[in-house]
Chains A and B, each alone.
Chain A
């Protein structure tokens, strides 16, 4: 029951997220205030977008370790652009962020597809290269908020129906993904290619091409998030989002995306991100050091892995229940 077992997993995760939310609220009623909820969403928006991109990549049995470096490089690019040409407006900024991210993602994709290189090696390599390029680009200097135009900073903070534009971007992203993954041939073929690459080849779907497409889309999202990140934190430097790729991958895994490919849902990934987001916001309230965040994420991943391994143990019975 692919559909139903995935649905069951999503439901279980939803229950956990709700339980977590309720117990935090019970202790700290302020936690459930609309303002705080909107803040959690605003906080999680970039993670959600990135995790959706990473989900595509993991679905096709590869991984993108360079996702945060791509974000940082694209972010620095638009920050410098804005610093030098503050009058350009927000359109070109968004365009250049997405184009830059797409190209950087396509490089990963082509290396994995055309040269058949191992994805971990490729993206570990590009991760360092992209970081290095930021240094070359910026000369190691920072771009601070006073060097950014009000438009550049204000765009994602613009509020609509009580939510920031950043939050709306994440919501739109989730909607587009939910429809595409179920109702478009490309979306289904990503599952197909990752679920059984050799079978995909025999049915005329090139799994390598699917991986390349996944990397490219993931790159485009990372590029967009580059701008979002720089604008949200109002600063750009070489080390922004350093190590964030691990959070993104963790969100996917908590959300039930199988590292072996072919399995994962949009709902699961969103829940995985919200789980991380709630814990991140709740820990300081409870008075626990945020350093526990990684530990809790890790624990959840391991527990989820143990549970799904236990389920696989169920054996096929050969014996009849009674003697013939």
Chain B
């Protein structure tokens, strides 16, 4: 630790000063300043919409800045396009996996610099060099595998390998762990640390504070397109960083309300589905929030989809209000008072080209449409009510959901279901990829929903969220229930232990 501080390098590799960028009048970046030092990991922290992704796109040449300066080794540069960025030694591991599923790992690694003999691609050389890079990274998959067969974590590693085909001076990791399990993230961090030791300057973008404290040497905080603070991680607390990000404190992040537990509302007995989950049993009472924790691939989403009638269980039973019910389709589930907010809100949650009003009305058309005739007026009224109730930032009920930020899209999806007054709300990673402000609103809304005598089942991979919001925590691993912990006995340690230990 002391060694890391001592070797504070004199000159940054990459410097950004007062970079500005706006899109049609909306400022994405107002005054962005950033310094990246060789052999150090700098964490970039900020809410969604703070300008982080715009910054990344400027650094890799997808966008050009409107003003300000980029300096590489003290010399001003202009990054023309992603290929040019690569030539300058600036590489990005993008948040969404930028990997070609149909191509082999080797071709993915060399996709922008395929080795050639004359005009023809030298496949054998490509393969050997790819194998060599993979060996350097100490990973076990073959360069001949099609990338489509890799896990998300392995695809990230392929992107890092891409950076290593040339001299990687700057490596930007844009929320690389958003979809990774703990163990996969650890593997990734091992590689990141090794690159740091090799003198690479790393920019690490993440929403997860535990990772930032484990990995980063420095931090820079962005808010509303402006860099509002920077410094060394050592001696800095998460409280301080969050205050810089939003001007809000941690307690406000998980505004869990005290609730009185009532009758059992949902009971699941021995629910099983081949290859997905096995003999899952649990119950949720009125006023209760049941958190379901597990690594990605633990079978949690599959369980939720089965509960909601999207897939059929092989055996087991579901009871609502003490009565066994048969849920064969989502329509059945909705009729029994269940609601499901899926993980992939852009594909499965909201209909992006539709207006807020049309989205909220989706689940309520039968009650809104008298004699089968839809009423734009009534739909609009309903949406206006929910825009106010959930604090959705929008110009009005007619704005299309695709134009909203991720957090506000999620609020629309939740509003769609709350408008039906369901009894059990199943949330799958409800705050994934949304900013801190919207997170606390989502938590407040679900907590209030539980307080009204309903039940919440919340699937999450974020430990603070699970610990902060759940009355009881169900831990799954490889399709089976491994622990059911009470709020009072659950700790980060025993929850993670149950989720990971084989």
Q: Which residues of A contact B (CB under 8 A)?
A: 1-3, 5, 179, 182-185, 188, 191-192, 195-196, 198-205, 262-263, 315-320, 323-324
* Contact across chains for B99 and A183 when beta carbons are under 8 A apart: no
Given A3-B104, A195-B103, A315-B275, A203-B299 contact (CB < 8 Å) = no
B298 CB-CB contact with A under 8 Å: yes
Counting chain B CB atoms within 10 Å of each CB, which of A5, A179, A204, A324 scores highest? Answer: A204
Choice from B92, B99, B102, B276 contacting A262 with Cβ under 8 Å: B102
- Residues 71-100 of B, flagged 1 when their CB comes within 8 A of A and 0 if not, give 000000000011111100000101011111
Considering the complex, give the chain A residue whose CB is closest to the CB of B501: A324
* Contact across chains for B298 and A188 when beta carbons are under 8 A apart: no
Docked Cα-Cα span, A202 to B477, in Å, equals 35
Docked Cα-Cα span, A183 to B126, in Å, equals 12
Docked Cα-Cα span, A201 to B148, in Å, equals 18
* Contact across chains for A195 and B100 when beta carbons are under 8 A apart: yes
Q: What range describes how many residues of B lie at the interface?
A: 35 or more
Q: Which residues of A contact B149 (CB under 8 A)?
A: 1
B396 CB-CB contact with A under 8 Å: no
* Contact across chains for B94 and A202 when beta carbons are under 8 A apart: yes
Q: Which residues of A contact B116 (CB under 8 A)?
A: 185
Q: Which residues of B contact A183 (CB under 8 A)?
A: 120-121, 123
6 closest residue pairs by CB, A with B: A204-B83, A204-B82, A199-B98, A319-B479, A317-B275, A183-B120
B146 CB-CB contact with A under 8 Å: yes
Considering the complex, give the chain A residue whose CB is closest to the CB of B86: A204
Docked Cα-Cα span, A184 to B121, in Å, equals 6
B502 CB-CB contact with A under 8 Å: yes
Docked Cα-Cα span, A188 to B113, in Å, equals 12
Q: Which residues of B contact A205 (CB under 8 A)?
A: 111-112
Some 15 contacts from A to B, beta carbons below 8 A apart, are: A2-B148, A185-B121, A192-B111, A195-B100, A196-B98, A200-B100, A201-B62, A202-B60, A202-B62, A202-B98, A203-B111, A318-B275, A318-B276, A319-B478, A319-B479
* Contact across chains for B114 and A185 when beta carbons are under 8 A apart: yes
Known: A199-B99, A319-B274. 14 other contacts (CB 8 A): A182-B123, A183-B121, A191-B100, A195-B103, A196-B99, A196-B101, A199-B97, A200-B100, A202-B94, A203-B112, A205-B112, A315-B276, A318-B275, A319-B479
Docked Cα-Cα span, A146 to B299, in Å, equals 74
Given A262-B102, A318-B297, A188-B107 contact (CB < 8 Å) = yes
Q: Which residues of A contact B97 (CB under 8 A)?
A: 199
Q: Which residues of A contact B274 (CB under 8 A)?
A: 319
Given A319-B478, A324-B502, A203-B103 contact (CB < 8 Å) = no
Considering the complex, give the chain B residue whose CB is closest to the CB of A320: B478
Least Cβ–Cβ distance between B98 and chain A, in angstroms: 4
Choice from B103, B146, B278, B477 contacting A192 with Cβ under 8 Å: B103
Considering the complex, give the chain B residue whose CB is closest to the CB of A185: B114
Considering the complex, give the chain A residue whose CB is closest to the CB of B99: A199
* Contact across chains for B277 and A196 when beta carbons are under 8 A apart: no
Considering the complex, give the chain A residue whose CB is closest to the CB of B477: A324
Q: Which residues of B contact A316 (CB under 8 A)?
A: 275
Docked Cα-Cα span, A183 to B84, in Å, equals 24
Docked Cα-Cα span, A320 to B116, in Å, equals 44
Q: Which residues of B contact A188 (CB under 8 A)?
A: 107, 114, 121
* Contact across chains for A318 and B99 when beta carbons are under 8 A apart: no
Which residues of chain B (35-75) have a CB below 8 Å from chain A? 60-62
Q: Which residues of B contact A185 (CB under 8 A)?
A: 114, 116, 121
Choice from A1, A201, A320, A323 contacting B82 with Cβ under 8 Å: A201
Least Cβ–Cβ distance between B352 and chain A, in angstroms: 16
Docked Cα-Cα span, A263 to B148, in Å, equals 13
Considering the complex, give the chain A residue whose CB is closest to the CB of B57: A202
Q: Which residues of A contact B85 (CB under 8 A)?
A: 204
Choice from B86, B100, B146, B277 contacting A199 with Cβ under 8 Å: B100
Docked Cα-Cα span, A262 to B102, in Å, equals 7
Least Cβ–Cβ distance between A123 and chain B, in angstroms: 24
Docked Cα-Cα span, A320 to B232, in Å, equals 44
B377 CB-CB contact with A under 8 Å: no
Docked Cα-Cα span, A179 to B100, in Å, equals 21
* Contact across chains for A318 and B479 when beta carbons are under 8 A apart: yes
Given A2-B103, A318-B478, A319-B278, A202-B111 contact (CB < 8 Å) = no
Q: Which residues of B contact A182 (CB under 8 A)?
A: 121, 123
Least Cβ–Cβ distance between B167 and chain A, in angstroms: 17
Least Cβ–Cβ distance between A208 and chain B, in angstroms: 13
Least Cβ–Cβ distance between A315 and chain B, in angstroms: 6
Least Cβ–Cβ distance between B276 and chain A, in angstroms: 5
Considering the complex, give the chain A residue whose CB is closest to the CB of B110: A188
Considering the complex, give the chain A residue whose CB is closest to the CB of B147: A2
Docked Cα-Cα span, A323 to B98, in Å, equals 36
Given A204-B82, A205-B112, A317-B275, A192-B100 contact (CB < 8 Å) = yes
Q: Which residues of A contact B278 (CB under 8 A)?
A: 319
Q: Which residues of A contact B145 (CB under 8 A)?
A: 1
B302 CB-CB contact with A under 8 Å: yes
Docked Cα-Cα span, A262 to B108, in Å, equals 14
Counting chain A CB atoms within 10 Å of each CB, which of B85, B94, B111, B276 scores highest? Answer: B111
Choice from A179, A203, A263, A315 contacting B102 with Cβ under 8 Å: A263
B323 CB-CB contact with A under 8 Å: no
Q: Which residues of A contact B298 (CB under 8 A)?
A: 318
Least Cβ–Cβ distance between A73 and chain B, in angstroms: 33
Q: Which residues of A contact B82 (CB under 8 A)?
A: 201-204
Docked Cα-Cα span, A324 to B499, in Å, equals 13
Considering the complex, give the chain A residue whose CB is closest to the CB of B279: A323
Considering the complex, give the chain A residue whose CB is closest to the CB of B98: A199
